Structures are given as C-alpha cells and as structure tokens.
Structure 1
Amino acid sequence: MRALWLAEGGEFVPPTARDFDLGPLFLGITKPMLLVVLSVVIIAVFFLMASRRLSIVPTKFTFVAESVYDFGRNNIARDLIGSKEFTPFVPLIVSLFTFVLVNNIFGLIPIIQFPTMAHIGFPAALSVLIVYPLWHYLGIRKFGFFGHIKHQLVPPGVPKPVLVLLVPVEAFVKFFMNPLTHAIRVFAAMFAGHLILIVFTLAGEYLLLEASVPLKPVSLVSWLFAIAMTFVEALIQVLQAYIFALLAANYIAAAINDEH
C-alpha cells in the first residue's frame, strides 16, 4: 500500500482507478475471476448445507437460508412480477441477489478485500447477457416480436402526436440505457465505496508515518472515518444487491404483464 502514496519527497498520492486494474495471477486468470468462482461455490455450499437436514423446527443456519430465500421469493419476485406468474423466476431472482451480495461483501473480508462488482464487466455480463435477453424472450413469447416492441414503446392512452417524440425516447431508454444503468448502479457504488475506504486508510497511514508531528494524531481521525465508512459500505453492498435483483424482477414484470 505504501507504494500508492510514496512519491518524490514522500508526497501523498491518492489511489486512482488504476489501482483496480488487477493483473493476471497465473495463466491469464485474475483475482476477480477467482472471486466469482468462489462466490458460486460459497452460495451452492450454503444452500446445500442448509437443506441437507430439513425439519419442522429449523436450525439457526437453516433459518438464515430460508430467510434469504424467502426474501428473494416474496419480497422481490412475487411483489414485482405478481403472485400468478412469479414462481418460474424465483431461482433466477434469488440467484442474482445472492450472487451480487456475496461478490459485494468480498470487499470487506480481510485478505480478499475486493468487491468483484467493482469491475464493470461482471455486472454488465449479468445485465446484458442474462436479464435483457430474458426480457426480450419473455416479451416476444407472450406478445410476438412486433407486439413486444409495441408493448414496450407505446404506452396505452397516449395521443398519437405525442408518440412521435415519446417512441424514440422510450426506445433509447429501454433498449440502450436500461441495460447500462442496471449494471452501472452496482458497479459505481462498489467502485466508489472501495475507493473511499482506500483513501481514508492510506491517508491515515501517510499521516502517521510521513506527516509532521502535529498532524500525526489526525491519522486516528482518518482511520475512524475508514471504520465508519466500512459500516456504511456494508449497508450499501446489501442494498445494491437488493436493487439489482429488484430491477431484474421489474424488467421481467414489464415483459410479461399486460399493463406496464
């Protein structure tokens, strides 16, 4: 870490986006790639262990797993998609929520200390390669190709002269901006939060080791802010996982519901 702020004359150099460019560890495999695989293993083992010995009175471990599943099933999928059609999409919504959550929480785990979603490629892959193809598939299956396009771009009851302006805007938002913003929300939150933690931590180290004596006690203030921001970041990590799954459920609902 000291290499980040040591420059000529010991001047403090704040971290930048380059510090998120983690090179390959071996055979072209990077740390974020390993973390993604690790997250899948953790989630799979967690639910398999929780469901191995089910009973009427669940254990604390099983209760936690059931609470996570129930939250994704009822508070996200059923509330957004609707009680009649939500069931087939529960595995996807729960998987998105837990996958994003675990990869976000990696940013707070010692040694690992990197939120995978701070690399735009991972949330973009979830959004562009999974959620939005499914959105189109479901809409086309229910309404047909042209019916799906009309369903998304032409709100009911809008005067025809207004459609001249509304349709291009709706097309730009729904077919271009929505996939991007779906991924950018979680990416930006994880990137900015992790960068803030690095800044406060390194600033405290610099003030303690390199600053003049009167400024050394300020290092404690910097570290206290780093601790406080860690708790805030934990809250944001959970919230962003919820928002990502919530938006996915909302897009599915928009594709299959008659009213939107």
Structure 2
Amino acid sequence: MLSHALTTFLPSATDDGGDSGFHGPSLDEFFPEALLFPNTPFELNRIMLIRLLVVVVLVLVFWLGTRRLKVVPGRFQTGLEFLLGFVRNNIIIETLGEKDGKRFMPVLMSMFFLILGMNLTGIVIFLNISGNSVIGLPLVLAVISWVLFIYAGFRKHPAQFIRNSLFPPGINPFLYIIVTPIEFISTFILRPVTLTVRLLMNMVAGHMLLVLCFSATQFFLFTAGGAWGLFSIGTFAFGLAFTLFELLVAALQAYVFTLLTAVYIQLALADEH
C-alpha cells in the first residue's frame, strides 16, 4: 500500500522527462539474471551464489570452531557450543529423547544451521536477500523432513505405520470414510506443503518490507527533495525496526522448521503406530 501511495501521489519524473519516480519492491527480484554459466544446467544467479556462500561459511565456521577444542574454551568456541547445545537440548533431545535424538541429530542440526544461515543473508549488507526466498531450497528441506518422517515410521513400525496413520485405532469403522482421506491429506501431503510455504513466505515478506522501507528512504532523501526529505526519517526508522524483526524471524523460522521436523519424527516413532 505504501508503494502504491508513493507511486500515485509523488512526482514520478524529473524536469527533463527522465523517470525518477519511486519504484517499490517487485517479485522480479526473486528471479535474477544468470551471472555464471548462463543457459546451461549449471547456471548460477545471485540467489544461488548466496546459497553457495552460506554453505562455505557454515563449513568454515564449524571447522574453525571444532578443529582445536579446548577444555577452557575461548569466546568463539563458547558461542558455538552454546548454539549447538541449544539446538541439541531444546529441540532434538527434548522432543525425541536421548536415544532417538542422537540418531537424528546430524541431519536436524544441519537443517537448523542451514536454514538460519540462509535466512540471515536477507539482512546482510550487499547480499540483502534470503537464500530461502525462492521455493527450491525450502521445498528440498520440506521433502527431507517428510522423508525422515516416513523413514522413522517404517523403521520403527514396518507393518503398522501406514495402517495406523490412515486408520487411527479407537474410531468407529464407519467414520473411516471421512477420517482416512483427511488423515492422508494432512499427514502425507499438507505437512511438506505447509513447511515449504511457511518458510518461503516469511522470507519473501520480510525482503519486500525491507526493500520498501529503504527504497522509500532513498526516494524521499535524494529524489523527492524539499520537505519530503523529512519522511525519510520515518521510513529509515521503520527499516531499522524491520531489520531487527527479520533477525528474530530468521532465528524463529529455523527453530520452528527444525522443531516441527523433530515432532513429526517423534509422532512416527510413537508406540501408537
């Protein structure tokens, strides 16, 4: 709405006829042009390069943090151990227990830090867009979560998993006509879809808000000029506030995605199956 209002009510051209009006965020930003290897299966655009950068940084951070562990850790090791301990104790072990938590810890731990790293690039200067703002990566992560759920269920209850998932015990058999299709859709279809959409849309919405605020700040300050420049104070303040909010959302979405994956695995391992 702010983008529409600015475009409608503010001057959109310079005195010489050039276009200098306010340009709000566009979905085209999520489909950037190829930067490397265009028109090949290995084509890389800006978002793909950001994803590769995040992977390299994560590998480097964990390598540096664990290659020389000390009994009395320094600040870097202490911070890394705190993050690892938080994910281990508050998400994995608390949800799955000690035994099953250790089995699934590598993939859940990797999932958390990958999502967190990808999300944080949305507020990093010169990157300014999340690696999870295009559906490919959130979809892959959701499929991994779904596969873990199916694997855990078949591994623990090979004969009863599907039957008890689609035909919950203790229900009148006549109700299975209604219950079974609902259970199939909610358990085997909607779970990966909701995981994908939740992560994707939070990152898309956050990027659009930040671009809108800082683009408006630039417009008011350098293009509109005059008294309009005072509005840049407000839009810049909103931009800073949304940046802090995006930092919270980045961590929260990594937590929620990993926690839900752990919960789904725990449901598959439950004795009811």
Give the TM-score normalised by structure 1.
0.91
- Alpha carbons of 1:7 and 1:149: their partners in 2 closer, same or farther (altered >3 Å)? farther
Q: Distance in 1 between matches of 2:108 and 2:93?
A: 10
Q: Distance in 1 between matches of 2:127 and 2:21?
A: 28
- Aligned equivalent of 2:97: 82
Q: Distance in 1 between matches of 2:12 and 2:48?
A: 31
- Give how far 1:206 is off: 1.6
- Alpha carbons of 1:83 and 1:259: their partners in 2 closer, same or farther (altered >3 Å)? farther
Post-superposition CA distance 1:200-230 (Å, at most 9, x none): 1111122223336332211111111001110
Q: Distance in 2 between matches of 1:54 and 1:66?
A: 10
Which residue, out of 132, 148, 163, partners 1:150?
Answer: 163
- Aligned equivalent of 2:264: 251
Alignment partner of 1:66 is 2:76: no
- Aligned equivalent of 2:201: 188
Q: Distance in 1 between matches of 2:151 and 2:167?
A: 19
Q: Distance in 2 between matches of 1:204 and 1:45?
A: 36
SS in 2 for 1:25: strand
For the 8 Å contact 1:14–1:199, the answer to whether it is kept is: yes
- Give how far 1:7 is off: 5.8
Post-superposition CA distance 1:27-79 (Å, at most 9, x none): 02112222222222212221221112222221111111111211221111111
Post-superposition CA distance 1:170-215 (Å, at most 9, x none): 1111111111111111111111001100001111122223336332
Q: After the TM superposition, list the runs of 4 or more consecutive aligned residues in structure 1 that deviate by more than 3 angstroms.
A: 5-11
Structure 2, unmatched stretches of 5+, are 1-6, 14-18, 38-42
Give the TM-score normalised by structure 2.
0.87
Q: Cα RMSD over matched residues?
A: 1.9
Alignment partner of 1:14 is 2:27: no
Alignment partner of 1:134 is 2:174: no
For the 8 Å contact 1:82–1:253, the answer to whether it is kept is: no
Q: Distance in 2 between matches of 1:31 and 1:151?
A: 45
- Aligned equivalent of 2:36: 26
Identity %: 32
SS in 1 for 2:168: coil
For these two proteins, the number of residue pairs brought into alignment is 254
- Aligned equivalent of 1:171: 184
